[in-house]
Amino acid sequence: MKSASSNSEQKRAAGARAAYFVKDGMRIGIGTGSTVAFFIEELGSRIREGLKVAGVPTSSQSRLLCFSCGIPILDASMVNHLDLAVDGADEIDGGLNAIKGGGAAHTVEKIIASMADEFILIADESKLVDKLCGHFPLPVEVIPAGCAFVMNQIRLLGGEPSVRMAVKKDGPVISENGNYIIDIAFNSPPADLSLLNRQLIGIPGLVETGLFLGLAQRALIAGAQGVREIKRRA
């Protein structure tokens, strides 16, 4: 069984490797999560050595960490193009499609990933799966007023939705956009993720899904033997 310490070491290795894809003068999209935190730390170290970049964080958590590491910050609402974006994932398949949203920031994360010339996923090897939605539930962001309607529509699509509840706070998790997060479980992985994504996005009140399909050009996956690079096949 993999220890927590080895998992942390692998995350650190993946995050540190990603920092060396950053070149002087770039605008960088910076994701959210424990693996990205190591990327931010390494990027901060390179900036102290003279690298000049600007970061666009996807969440308050990442924004605060960027600030503490001395990374110059731009607001996502004022940017329409990025040279590179780096983010973690909850699941990654062999085609570099991914599920994100465990940190409830996937709507902004998808915007940031979509505006980047290159999007790199970073993760430890436990995140690699044969098929998405087999173990990790699919997060979707939902306007509170549409919660009951959206959940009913999800059931009609074969999913089992549940509102994500907060820890150390009563009530549901609230995204930075002021919305609920609904996690969708499936009895078996959906056969057509593109179709599922379109069907979910078509539900009024559902803001965005955690399916990141065809966005990543490469993934940096850390394991016991080091970090390997996987490129998306053309």
Of 42, 91, 109, 208, the catalytic one is: 109
- Residue 176 bears catalytic tag: no
Yes or no: say if 229 and 169 are a contact pair by the CB < 8 Å rule: no
Q: Report residue 81 as tokens.
A: 């193009």
Which residue, among 120, 108, 119, 76, has the nearest Cα to 178 in the 3D structure?
108
CA angle in degrees (0–180, nearest 5) for 185-197-144: 70
Residues facing residue 149 across a β-bridge = none
Yes or no: say if 217 and 120 are a contact pair by the CB < 8 Å rule: yes
Yes or no: say if 98 and 212 are a contact pair by the CB < 8 Å rule: yes
Catalytic residues: 109
